[in-house]
Structure 1
Amino acid sequence: MSTAMPFDADPALMSDVTAAVRTAGRTLRDRYTPHARGVSLDEVVEEIHANDDAVLDLLREPLLRARPGSRWAEDELAGGALPTGEWWVVDPAEGNINHVHAMPDWAVTATLVRDNQPVLTVVHLPLTGDTYTAVAGAGARLNDRPLKVSAKTDLGAALVGTGQAKPGEDKDTFRKIGESATVMLTDALVVRVSVPATMQLIHVAAGRMDAFWQFSDVRSGLVAGALLVSEAGGTVTDLAGEPWSTAAEDFLATAPGVHPAALKTLSPIARP
């Protein structure tokens, strides 16, 4: 992914997006419980849908109003390229499965994508009150502090991670996830396998983790973190080493110093 074409964002746009995401976050926080909700699969899915339904309308109209002419990407689990123009790619409960199971790793995200490149994003963590923001060409921030990726150059010293993008993906994707975790257990220091992607990518952008990869093209889990990592000085490509966009079939975001080694380890699995 490249930020060679900076996004000239009206400061009011970032303010409006942040306000909408935080409002949605308060509602989602109020729905959070100290115990897991749902026993059967049907009950868990029902809880997930209820979370989405509770906050989606708090995001859709404010975001479309904040950017006249923009459109809404309806399916949060969809992947692949979008038509040209500006689109809101939103996850009203990123890490919804964690929310339902009384775990803290979840957020609300809203990203403006222009011609298949993310150009503005807000990621809000309601439980901590932290807000991550980025604008193409203008850097990434945690609250009021600039973000910077790790300075590591040795993959053997790196904390890295991956995870699945959605339940029920094809067996080939699951095979790649398993193989990649195995080889990284040898080549890296520590491997995390968890969901959602955004919660790992904010750690890469903040220099707490050194690499994240995913064998999937689900847009809503990648666009926010891709922009945050890129604007924090990281390297974001597909697993062939080409610049990433929403049209890519897989994803790698790293500190620049470990990107070549991570790519060497992972690309044979992605494209045998």
Structure 2
Amino acid sequence: MSATLQTTDVTVLDADLLDRTAAAVREAGAVLRERFGAVIPYRTREELMSALAANDDTALGILRPHLTSLRPDAGWVEDELDGGALPPGEWWVVDPAEGNVNHLHALPEWAVTATLVRDNQPVLTAVHLPLTGETYTALTGAGAHLDGRPLNVSRTADLGLSIVATSQARPDEDENVVRRVGSSITAMLFDALVVRVAVPATLHLLNVAAGRIDAFWQFAGARADLLPGALLVTEAGGRISDAEGRPWTPRSESFLAAAPGVHAQAVTTLSR
């Protein structure tokens, strides 16, 4: 892969592009932080969707012009809940308020993410946590970092000593997916030390990349909640696959990110 990206006017190093992407997610995060605090009441699904959209639109008003100016020829994924493969070329996969429902409920687990995907491979990603001020970044071949400090996955080699996590991919999942999620949690409760269940996926994946937890899995899922973490975990030395141990792609029906020492054990547990 070339170390540079061609724009219409200048050649921008990937590393410089990542720095500018990180600045954009921090700016958007600062605005969302100003909106955070009180629980936002809603009585209907329509009111909920309106409140979610208000956060998204606020962040996108900052992210979209910044990122478009960086890569004017890149496509833009409109719906952060979309899954599957993208057409060839470059695409911005952005979640303007990852964990948006948490933001509305005054819960702290939310972030702003932006990932550049090239021919269905994540090239760079920036994830900002506005409440802590932390920014996680990864660049293909250059490692994963937290505010400039290298990240490394856990050295744990025993699933029985591991903290693992999973997440609900989206509301209104297919019944078969819901049942599979439930049975997988039960299996992990038998085989792992501790099982965490919460949204959003990206925050669990940050913890895998940082070595704080040892594995994360999810059934179904969207590009925007898996691609940033997939790149971070890979660049931090972790392993990515589907739940059966096969290579993961955005078309896969399941996802597993784990420290190398527990990956095979996690596959065995999830494949039962």
Q: TM-score range by the shorter chain?
A: over 0.9
Q: Which has the higher contact order (CA 8 A, sep 6+)?
A: 1
RMSD between aligned residues? 1.4
The equivalent residue for 2:7 is: none
Q: Deviations over 1:46-92 (max 9, x none)?
A: 21111011111211121121123211011110100001111110000
Q: Does 1:179 align with 2:211?
A: no
CA drift of 1:43 comes to 2.6
Query: Percent same amino acid among aligned pairs?
Result: 58
CA drift of 1:36 comes to 4.3
Q: Following the alignment from structure 1 to structure 2, what is the Cα–Cα distance between the partners of residues 79 and 267?
A: 22
The equivalent residue for 1:65 is: 69
The equivalent residue for 2:110 is: 106
The equivalent residue for 2:24 is: 20
* TM-score when normalising by structure 1: 0.93
Q: Does 1:259 align with 2:251?
A: no
The equivalent residue for 1:74 is: 78
Q: Following the alignment from structure 1 to structure 2, what is the Cα–Cα distance between the partners of residues 165 and 223?
A: 13
- Contact 1:94-1:107 within 8 A present in 2 as well: yes
Q: Does 1:38 align with 2:42?
A: yes
* Correspondence 1:89-100 to 2 at 5 A: 89-100=93-104
The equivalent residue for 2:242 is: 238
Q: Deviations over 1:76-120 (max 9, x none)?
A: 101000011111100000000100000000000000111111110
Cα distance change on mapping 1:126 and 1:157 into 2, 3 Å: same
- Contact 1:161-1:192 within 8 A present in 2 as well: yes
In the alignment, structure 1 segments of 5+ residues that lack a partner are none
- Contact 1:116-1:247 within 8 A present in 2 as well: no
CA drift of 1:217 comes to 3.3
2:174 pairs, out of 170, 173, 179, with 170
2:135 pairs, out of 127, 131, 136, with 131
* SS at structure 2 position matched to 1:140: strand
Q: Following the alignment from structure 1 to structure 2, what is the Cα–Cα distance between the partners of residues 165 and 6?
A: 33
- Write the letter of the residue equivalent to 2:220: S
* SS at structure 1 position matched to 2:271: helix
Q: Does 1:141 align with 2:156?
A: no
